[in-house]
Amino acid sequence: MGLEGAKLELEVEMKAVREYYKSGKTREESWRRAQLLGLAKLLEEREGEIYMAIKEDLGKHHVEAYRDEIGVLVKGVDVALRSLKHWMSPTRAKLPFIAYPTTAHTVPEPLGLILVISSWNLPFGLSIEPVIGAVAAGNAVVIKPSELSPASSALLAKLIPIYLDPQAVKVVPGDAQVGQQLLDLKWDKILFTGSPKVGQIVMAAAAKHLTPVCLELGGKCPAVFDHLSSSWDKKTAVNRLLAAKFGSCAGQACIAVDYALVEKKHVSELVDLLKAKIKEMFGDNPRELNTVARIVNKHNFSRLRKLMGDPSVKSTIVHGGSFDEHNLFIEPTIMVDPPLESSLMTEEIFGPFLPIITLDKIEDSIEFIKARPRPLAIYAFTNDDKLKKRILSETSSGSVTFNDAIVQYIAETLPFGGVGESGFGRYHGKFTFEMFSHEKAVMSRGFLIDFWFRFPPWNDHKLNLFKVAYRLDVIGIVLTVLGLKKSKIN
């Protein structure tokens, strides 16, 4: 089948999905609940197959895969099933007494046909989590998984039609050309997770149809590492920092720590702690022990090797630095004070390199962060309440986490999303439901009472009544009606 034929077939298929949505079937609570139960069953019955696909694509240990993807999804489905009736219910809106006899509320209604373009680093998590909220909100959904995780993409295409309504939830695997064909179509909302470069393409395509988008783009997430007096605090902080850098898809995650900021006088102590904990956490041979995932493909491996090819960067390595091209594996690597103008420090790393930048005083970290594009997350390991307050008030980011990293991602009660260059829109838990819903305003009035001054012909007396009415001044309205109060007309 030629390109035009494939495109036409895709258009016909998507038209059928939209027609199915228009039938009203997806709006029914029973349908929504059935899709969520189907997802729960999929995650339970096909857990082993999901492990194997993620292992094939990224070399992740199955425990890491459960922690970062399957477990998050199981929890997300459970929350949605428990909360569905509440999420779907109208919310009463408060109106002032002066509006009597009027009632108002908001009703969440589905947007329609949703396109989810997911990323390869969490191939199941980033594909299915948006679907949880989208079907809970009553939408039809099309998933375009990443072609860079082919085993996961193929498994999603196989399993979704088995466990969910195949007329309303579809997987369309394929390369960038297929992605562009999908973007050429009309959608009611698009969620994209990936690079800013592709995000621009998504926005440009969406603009043609005035389609709203949610972009999750990532960025360089800093970790501010303050001096911690307690040895327990130091070791705990280092463990959490390492896990958020090397222990999450080998740093190939949008919310992974990108670089660390520390005072010059404390850098040696931090490096020594990092070296010791790397050996303890990941072992002498992380590849054989499968404690660190591999790089996704040769292209990204070459990109990371190029980052380290700069002699001025290579000379700053204090730990690691070895590459295994055959197995697409790079060991955890630490460098101290690489040039700030190097690609390592101007591009998102998305790999197992941890640059440490030294500062004269830790408070300088605030200006350092502010001088760069707003990150998806800021992590600060500190017990200094004044520093915490300054970070919150003087920096901008998608989220801030104190004394840990990445854990904010699994909290469904917190919105996940970026700001500025790191993206816009938010999801997780109820926030996903809300992102894929329209809050329709509904107002109802009785006929008993009416405000006659709403209608022409106009006079200054009516103007005075408007002036007190818009201030919700009930007594003022009474006095104005009785002619006991007059407003000055400017």
Give the active site residues: 216, 254
Please give the DSSP secondary-structure letter assigned to residue 121: S
CA-CA distance, 29 to 42, in Å (whole number)? 20
User: How many other CB atoms are found less than 10 A from the CB of residue 177?
Assistant: 12
Beta bridge partners of 381: 225
The sign of the CA dihedral 396, 401, 406, 411 is negative
Per the CB < 8 A criterion, the answer to whether 228 and 234 are in contact is yes
Per the CB < 8 A criterion, the answer to whether 319 and 275 are in contact is yes
Strand-strand pairing, 329-330 and 423-424: unpaired
Per the CB < 8 A criterion, the answer to whether 359 and 263 are in contact is yes
CA-CA distance, 241 to 235, in Å (whole number)? 10
The sign of the CA dihedral 418, 419, 425, 430 is positive
Per the CB < 8 A criterion, the answer to whether 330 and 322 are in contact is yes
Please choose, from the candidates 69, 175, 71, 179, the residue with its C-alpha nearest in 3D space to the C-alpha of residue 122. Answer: 69
DSSP 294-320: PPS-HHHHHHHHHHHHSHHHHTTEEE-
User: Tokens standing for 207?
Assistant: 């603009």
Please choose, from the candidates 364, 431, 392, 414, the residue with its C-alpha nearest in 3D space to the C-alpha of residue 214. Answer: 431
Q: Mapping DSSP to helix (H, G, I), strand (E, B) and coil, where does residue 46 land?
A: coil
Instruction: For the chain, report the end-to-end CA distance as a whole number of angstroms.
Output: 73
Per the listing, tokens 């204090």 go with 318
